[in-house]
Structure 1
């Protein structure tokens, strides 16, 4: 009996052990399944995040494409934003052409100025030699290159951005160590005469002659009479005198300065200069032969020439008892190099 009971107990123990092992296996299987599910859920979550991120990127790109690009035009010296242009108006060919014309007109007014605002283009104010022999600095020539600016703005409209004004600055074409020698040789001269008894005209000729006296005209410099002399008005000491206006002689402030510009023309005309601007009077004048005059009017017609002689020049102008003389000088070293 004892033997048989022992056998039954052994079998029972084996069954219990098998049941426990089976339960453990089931539990282990459940545990393994839960871990895989978690891993899968994690991967799905990561994929969803990536998809969401990718979706946002696409939406951002789409919005950027739809959003107009902006171009800022700035002054390179001050970094001031002068104007902004947008691609919004470039959706069709006709709008593109319209915008191109709009920018072209704006560039032109920016360079040349308007009635109310000076442009970026600035004529050179030449340097002078002072009474003490020192150089009195003027201002360099400044040019805003219109076609270059237009091209830069139109190109930038594709992606937007900033465009700086293409400003080109030209200093006078001479060296400072040449200055003490520029008055050594007279290479051209011309004299005209006036009635010294006419006080107003006499004074006006004297003032305008002083304004161009000792002016340095460097190699390839462009000399402007109006820019150099400045306004011929009462504020600058000019007086009333007869002047030619629309074919008639009338009284006006500054009458007589055209004799200075005409005398200068006849002097530099003996050299190989190039004329940028020159006009004749509407009436014949008595101080130079017919067709040898050069009329000027501040804010209007001007007398301009470029020094293409190959050497720097010095202008001398002075009045003496009813005569006006303009001389063009240079150094002895340059005398044989000057083009006539």
Structure 2
């Protein structure tokens, strides 16, 4: 405490010397500095002699600069500060419950994004096998663990700190050495049919079927139809065709791709996968049995599944002459592990 007082008085000398230079005459300024120096020397003497030191409030200039505790959230990949939180401004000292709600909302927005800013969470874009057998790399799944971020922020709310975002990255789980043999054995297959007369709808089926062809699904990987196929718009070649919306058949860009997602579902449902997300049409469709469909809508409804077999497989799709077929293929060594037991 004594040490702090001494330091404060020394700082005051500097403040007076610099801040008052234009307001005091040179003689008065010198006297003021000498007076403060004498007080510092007296306090030093008292500390040396272990005497009680009493400092009157009038001895300290009342110019307080209020400093709030701050928490800086840092991106661990770029080491940049992406957000600064001042707990006092969010009610930490007055309404802790409301403060926790604010922190939870901040964590949610950072993870999932908002209308204007993308979040850190990213679905896995699975790798594919190219036309020449090369591996076309996708991108890993990224998760910002919201509960962990909230805990870190709360722990730092008293004193402030630099807090790294708890980001977890998951790569596709397969061995590159298996690629050559993953095409060897058909473990499951499903075929649906369509009319060759509807050119727009057929084109949409073709594009989406090509998008999922040769996709590698490693052990534990999550396949997302919307992520793999991407936006269904004119820029990507999709055309107007009938689609079911709210129990009505209407024209829309990309109509028909639900036949691809439904055919895919009926193929992979024969092996050891876990359904993560699947939705039904509001009307029955004719290309699969009732209840065996998987409707999709980019950015709204997705078809997702996870490979829980412990071994990798690839998805093969073929389109033509009114026929769409989706197959699940794998290495001979993995066939029995991939099969679903009854």
Q: Same fold (TM over 0.5)?
A: yes
> Match of 2:289?
289
**Is 2:42 the counterpart of 1:47?**
no
Aligned equivalents of 1:174, 1:273: Cα separation in 2: 16
Q: Which runs of 5+ in 2 are unaligned?
A: 1-40
**Is 2:193 the counterpart of 1:170?**
no
1:92-145 CA-partner distances (Å, limit 9, x unpaired): 764222221111101101101111121100000000000010100000000000
Return closer, same or farther for 1:97/1:210 CA change in 2, 3 Å cut-off: same
> Match of 1:30?
none
Report which of the two structures shows the higher radius of gyration computed on alpha carbons: 1
Whether the 8 Å CA contact 1:89–1:95 is kept in 2: the answer is no
> Match of 1:96?
96
Return closer, same or farther for 1:192/1:95 CA change in 2, 3 Å cut-off: same
Q: Please report how far the alpha carbon of residue 318 of structure 1 lies from its aligned counterpart in structure 2 after TM superposition.
A: 1.0
Return closer, same or farther for 1:45/1:267 CA change in 2, 3 Å cut-off: closer
> Match of 2:76?
76
> Match of 1:314?
314
Where do 1:62-141 residues align within 5 Å? 67-89=67-89, 94-141=94-141
Q: How many residues align?
A: 293
Return closer, same or farther for 1:90/1:327 CA change in 2, 3 Å cut-off: closer
Aligned equivalents of 1:141, 1:55: Cα separation in 2: 62
Where do 1:1-340 residues align within 5 Å? 46-48=44-46, 67-89=67-89, 94-340=94-340
> Match of 2:21?
none
Aligned equivalents of 1:319, 1:259: Cα separation in 2: 12
Whether the 8 Å CA contact 2:90–2:102 is kept in 1: the answer is no
Provide the alpha-carbon RMSD of the alignment: 2.5
1:163-216 CA-partner distances (Å, limit 9, x unpaired): 000000000010111111111111110000000111001110000000000000
Q: For 1:109, what is the secondary structure of its paired residue?
A: helix
Q: For 1:336, what is the secondary structure of its paired residue?
A: helix
Aligned equivalents of 2:211, 2:261: Cα separation in 1: 11
Q: Please report how far the alpha carbon of residue 48 of structure 1 lies from its aligned counterpart in structure 2 after TM superposition.
A: 3.6
Whether the 8 Å CA contact 1:144–1:165 is kept in 2: the answer is yes
Q: Please report how far the alpha carbon of residue 86 of structure 1 lies from its aligned counterpart in structure 2 after TM superposition.
A: 2.1
Q: For 2:337, what is the secondary structure of its paired residue?
A: coil
Q: Which runs of 5+ in 1 are unaligned?
A: 1-42
